[in-house]
Structure 1
Amino acid sequence: MDYSCHLSVSVFMLFAFFSFFPINAVARGGDRIPSQPGAMNHSKGYSTRRLFGVKEHPLTEEIIQGYMSNFELEKSMKEFGKRCANISYVYSIGESVQGFPLWVIEISDKPGQKEPEPSFKYIGNVHGDEPVGRELLMRLANWLCDNYMKDPLANLIVEKVHLHILPSMNPDGFALRKRGNANDIDLNRDFPDQFFPINDVESLRQPETRAIMNWLKREHFTASASLHGGALVANYPWDGSEDKRNKYYECPDDAAFQYMATVYSQSHHNMSLSKEFPEGITNGAFWYPIYGGMQDWNYIHGGCFEITLEISDIKWPKANELHALWEHNKKSMLNLVASLVKAGVHGRVFSGETGFPLPAYVVVEGINYTVRAGGIYGDYHRILAPRGSYKVIASMPGYQTKSTQIQINDEGVNLDFILTPEKSNNKLAKPKSCNCDCERSDQMELFPFFKTIPIELFLIVLFILLFLCYLFKRRTIFKFSRHNRQFIGAKRATVV
């Protein structure tokens, strides 16, 4: 049995051994833990948030009545698709535990088509008892439809971005009036985690989680935001820390994420005025660590810059407050999407030999993070904090790497790369010098056998070989002449 067979048998036996042990299929990753009173991160100088500091209204039928049910939301999205068919496309990315479709609205001047433009996604209702996001996202879609060709910001988003809106990631939790899904799993703790291998078995993911993961495999999202409730702050990676302690734990693109969070908070009616979170933003691990979160997974595995937006101090406010919440968040939601075009570096990568687009790798010197250009158009979109100088590098196996220095101020930079194929360094090998002694006496030693053959026998064999060669040559010439005579005067084939 060869090495590969031994390896296959070993892997199978190991898998069979571990399959006998039960795997916990619930509650992967803990909830955010309230920080201790007076806890302080001295590196940043402000205290962490105590959870559930705002008293929630008890859920009553009066409060619930003002929100769209799952079926009303589905109807509203389909009606939107018909009313705004010129700039929208409604599709499903999967189903919940109880079989309810996870509907998405795509908004673009070319919906459903691939373009070399950045894509942004909004996700609401990750937690079933935080429904404000689903209501605000439908208002966002309708505002874009109503103001396209009227408002410059609406025009920019529709024509330069592919915006995908998933109002409810957790329709079952909403219907059941609880945080988790129908299996009582917190979906924002159900993604594979970078620090702890708690969610690495794909078959144990919740269907809603798998739908999001597969969605990112199909779509090339540049950035994203999920809408939550229970606080008023823009939260950015990392969401967890390696030692599970409350501390500022920055990711490679910390500056870019701070910029995204600030775009939202500064555009908000009062988020940036927070006394609890300076500028209305916070690092997730510093606030309180979570594991298995969607935000970090998007950045690590999806190439997508995601932030988490807490948009309402109360998780389930009264329905008559929804209009005010929309007005407070409208400008922020629009500006965050528009920032994809207004900031960072964007471009395409081509082959200098064929002119075809290349799915190249784009990195920025000093930032340990790689962005992959799209396979169809070779387009890349790299979010970078403004007012900085960056060295952008494009590479592709088989091509020479190229780099250039750019300055990003208050507008995005367009930068295309044309990569030159690598030239082979393999040259014809020169004949090696002969180290042997090439005297005549040595050459004669190569043929000692012929000394023992009688000359008469040698001549007979040589004559027979010459005669056979003559017959073979004569037959070949005859066949060739016959073949040519068959096609004299035939019409020449047309080459298309």
Structure 2
Amino acid sequence: MFQELAQLESLLERLDGHARIETLTRIRWQGHDFPVYAIVLGTLQPQAPTLGFFGGVHGLEKIGSEVILSYLQTLIEMLEWDRELQRRLAESRLVFVPIVNPVGVYRGTRANGNGVDLMRNAPIEGQGNTKLYSGHRLTPWLPWYRGDASRMETEAEALCEVVRRYLFEAELSIVLDLHSGFGIRDRLWFPYASCRKPFPDIAEAYALKNLFDHCFPHHVYRIEPMSEEYVINGDLWDYLYDSFKSSPQAGRLFLPLTLEMGSWLWLRKSPLHLFQRHGLFHPLLPHRQQRILRRHFTLFEFLHRCLLSPTKWAEQTHDQRVDNRRAAWETWYA
């Protein structure tokens, strides 16, 4: 047991009767037995709009898990009295996997118990100028190790399984995967991470960005394709997105997003934190941690509302898609 898992299991007790709770798998490591939980709030109608939250893929970046747990705690309190939230959940679904990599969170390591970087573990190769940090198969003693080419890790398979089951079936779905550790500004990334070409639903991604910019003109995010910063091998979300586009559900929309919290800003204010295990990836001072735990709730609520009101961004005419693709190209790829 560790702090984040104890907090999650405490929340699960309060959710009993309000949500579907699943143990996706159990990870055994050096005498420990860690569960990987999924929580499903809202309607169980397969085609209902669905928003997924995933955290702790990199165990060292545990602030992602903590933000999701903080949001879950808020939802639990609001479910008791907020009729508007209750109406939204009657028409939509929220899926949470707060701790994808429990061994990594327990140990304070990026990789899982086998030394594998789960976000480099999918069978998809980066195109172009990849680096060591893009993912390699040299040795698990180096960071960014991709693992065995013949199979995916148990935690990665569990993540893919819950996405296929709850998000691929939905008419419209968005994923938000929470990470930290890059830059001094919060970034909201969308595919592709494995190549620099625009992904097929770039018009919808641009329209969603445009809507967010207009609704919250003072937001804190830099919204861009992940490949604008670097290209990686084995990205799970590229793998799942391409799998979705080749599936029978391909006429619908599945949009995976990554929230990369800019932790270098925390380090710039307190450089000595670099010498602590979580200093580069986690806000160590209590007031900073509290600020991060509430900082992204506006984004979460916006994405939930967008799923229920897609006409402004996801339901575009041919001409609108052409215009948005052109604008996206000029903004990110030209």
Give the TM-score normalised by structure 1: 0.49
How far the C-alpha of 1:262 sits from its partner, in A, is 5.7
Structure 1 Cα separation of the partners of residues 99 and 63 of structure 2: 10
Q: Give SS of 2:52's match.
A: strand
8 A contact 2:180–2:263 mirrored in 1: yes
Alignment pair present for 1:239 and 2:193: yes
Match of 2:326 in 1: none
Shift of 1:325: 0.9
- Aligned equivalents of 1:75, 1:209: Cα separation in 2: 22
2:220 equivalent in structure 1:
271
**Of residues 307, 310, 317 in structure 2, which corresponds to 1:343?**
310
Separation in 1, partners of 2:125, 2:28: 26
- Give the conservation status (yes or no) of the 8 Å contact 2:263–2:282: no
| Counterpart in the other structure of 1:316 | 282
Match of 2:89 in 1: 158
Identity of aligned residues (%): 20
The residue number in structure 2 matching 1:225 is 176
CA contact (8 A) 1:193 1:292 kept: yes
Question: Which structure: greater helix fraction?
Answer: 2
Shift of 1:97: 5.4
Q: Alpha-carbon deviation of 1:177? A: 1.5
Counterpart amino acid of residue 271 in structure 1: V
In 1, Cα distance between equivalents of 2:92 and 2:6: 25
Give, in whole Å, the separation in 2 of the partners of 1:152 and 1:299.
Answer: 34
Whole-angstrom distance in 2 between the partners of 1:292 and 1:144: 33
Structure 1: distance between partners of 2:177 and 2:229: 17
What amino acid maps onto 2:231 in structure 1?
Answer: P
Q: Which has the higher contact order (CA 8 A, sep 6+)?
A: 2
The answer to whether the 8 Å contact 2:126/2:234 transfers is no
State the secondary structure of the residue aligned to 2:296: helix
| Deviation, structure 1 residue 83 | 2.1
Q: Provide, for residues 382-416 of structure 1, a one-character-per-residue CA deviation record: whole Å limited to 9, x for no partner.
A: xx83584249xxxxxxxxxxxxxxxxxxxxxxxxx
How many residues end up aligned between the 2 structures? 268
1:326 corresponds in structure 2 to 293
Q: Displacement, 1:191?
A: 1.0
Q: Give unmatched runs, 5+ long, in structure 1.
A: 1-69, 242-247, 273-279, 345-383, 392-496
Counterparts of 1:145 and 1:341, CA distance in 2: 20
Deviations 1:80-117 (A, max 9, x none): 23323342222111133524111122111x4xx44441
Alpha-carbon distance between aligned partners in 2 of 1:326 and 1:153, rounded to the nearest angstrom: 23
Q: Quote the offset at 1:74 in angstroms.
A: 3.4
Measure, in 2, the Cα distance between the counterparts of 1:191 and 1:117: 27
1:12-411 alignment runs, 5 A limit: 70-96=1-27, 98=29, 99-108=33-42, 110=43, 113-148=44-79, 150-151=81-82, 154-193=85-124, 203-221=150-168, 222-231=173-182, 232-241=186-195, 248-260=196-208, 267=216, 270-272=219-221, 280-302=222-244, 304-314=254-264, 315-318=281-284, 320=286, 321-344=288-311, 385=313, 388-390=316-318
One-letter amino acid matched to 1:205: M
Residue type of the partner of 2:161?
N
Match of 2:323 in 1: none
Give, in whole Å, the separation in 2 of the partners of 1:151 and 1:262: 29
Q: TM-score, normalised by structure 2?
A: 0.70
Q: Deviations over 1:18-39 (max 9, x none)?
A: xxxxxxxxxxxxxxxxxxxxxx
* Partner-residue secondary structure (3-state), 2:178: strand
Q: Which letter does structure 1 place at the counterpart of 2:181?
A: G
Q: State the Cα RMSD in Å.
A: 3.1
Distance 2:116 2:209 in 1: 28
In our comparison, the structure showing a higher alpha carbon Rg is 1
Q: CA contact under 8 A between 1:97 and 1:206: conserved in structure 2?
A: no
The code of the aligned residue for 2:299 comes to S
